[in-house]
Structure 1
Amino acid sequence: MNAISPILEFNPELLVYLAIDVIIAILLLSTMRYVMGITGKVNTTQELSRRDNFAYGISMAGSVLAMGIVLTGAITGESANNYLNEVIGMSAYGLVGLLLIKAGRWVHDKFSLNQFHKSQLILERNKAVAITDAASAIATAIIVRAVLIWVEGFDFDTFIAIFVGWLISQFILVLVSWIRERRFNRSNVAGFQQALVQGNVALAVRYSGHLIGTAIAVTAASHFIIYDPQYLVTGLLSWLAISLVMMILLKVLATIAKRIVLMNIPREIEIEQQHNVGVAAIEFAINISIALVLSALMA
């Protein structure tokens, strides 16, 4: 009995901190639905229930999952020295995360997929566009989470680091989007963005794998760089350099893996012309898997 008693010991104060974090997390997750409704001027109840708009549901699911990912970065840090500071810190990081997710979507719409009106197409039940929208939010959240875990303290330098880390993430994700679009356009009459407008779900799934996989891979930078406010610029530039290296490494290794796993299967034809979601899902899984392996190895 004495042997197991230490396991049963707990700190009541710790339970209060956990309760604070869980309550704030649930409130912020719930907020995503209303934020989407207000900013998009949409009745979310009507879209999700009465119209059964699956595309809108996919887009909102991406926002909710992205918010959850960001919140894990806020929770992973050490608890504050009192309950009020915990409430302030958790709420502040959560709200900053929410704003960065929304800002990341804006960047994706303006610089990556800027040839169509995303919100209108989602309301018109375009699942391909909804999938890419959700993926961009999730990819942004993954990198923001890594930055939240990387930084220390709760001051002006901390938020500068978070913001610049977000900027780096957007540069990397836009670069990935441009590369994917240019490659697609070289071998197809209809452009990449036009194919999404036409509802190529397979293409959207593969593209999402590239975005999310890249986001996972570039978070490895946080394992190499020590956060120091005195050398913040150097640290963030190093983060960018390592991110670019990881992006290239992921591309090379994932390409090798795809050629082995999907040997004798004309992947481009299956996904781009025949809209084969099954093959696209395998490519998605390969990108994510290689990214996870790289991130684990670098840790």
Structure 2
Amino acid sequence: MADISYRGRFAPSPTGPLHFGSLVTALASYLEARVHQGQWLVRVEDLDPLRESPEATERILHSLNCHGLIPDAPVRFQSRRHDAYQAVIERLLSDGLAYRCACSRKQLQQHHGRHPEHCREGRSVPGNRPFAIRFALTDETCCWQDELLGPQIQRVIAEVDDPVILRKEGFFAYQLAVVVDDIDQGITDVVRGSDLLDLTSQQQQIYRALGATPPNWLHIPVILNEEGQKLSKQNHAPALDDRQPAGNLTSALAALGQHPPANLNQQPVENILAWATRHWQREAIPLTSR
């Protein structure tokens, strides 16, 4: 019987097909959920139609299915959640926890992150200029425990670090949507790449502003290419070959420090995932990127 006290998720952005680095993250989050006898969800973060495509979404979901990574609930699409995000923004604006900002990136750079137009003071945006909406952080030295990396200390500086939650183009931003959906879906544990580590303290303030307890965090090292760059769609990471899921899964297990036996890649996907669940050792995950 599933332990509903544990709910994890994998949340890809459909800017391209699934690559090996994404598979490593998906597999780690899946195994953490299975070891805890909890639930594992998939959420497609399709909030930027200028960079995403339905074809990429279909390919990602097909790849997950080929690798036996089947969610325990229907896939959620953030593109269908605009009303929920807008309601939260209006609530934050009403509570004085968000503000309209017409400052350009160049202006903010020139003023070291401070707003030359005093946006946080609630002044109205002059004329018909486009504006973003930012969450109003408070100064904080945030201390929290990462499930893999141990104690973390991050300094959050009000105004300078205030994240955009609605972009000038009218698109809802990651920092807002990820928190709103994690709360709505009852996510208790987040396994993700360490490239998102620096966003954690900001997100924790948004959780608290919405009256919710932040999840447990587990940040795994990102996979690097031969040039030492993060394996990503932006760096032209090759798509997974869905015709060889067994080899992909055993390579991902090796990247996670799990030492799969040599002949495991000759087994069906279901057997590989069963072996991985039985032998999963979180403490074996390497602490640095490979």
TM value normalised by structure 1: 0.24
Q: Looking at both structures, which has the greater relative contact order when contacts are Cα pairs under 8 Å and sequence separation is at least 6?
A: 2
TM value normalised by structure 2: 0.24
Task: Give 1 or 2: higher strand fraction.
Answer: 2
Task: Give 1 or 2: higher helix fraction.
Answer: 1
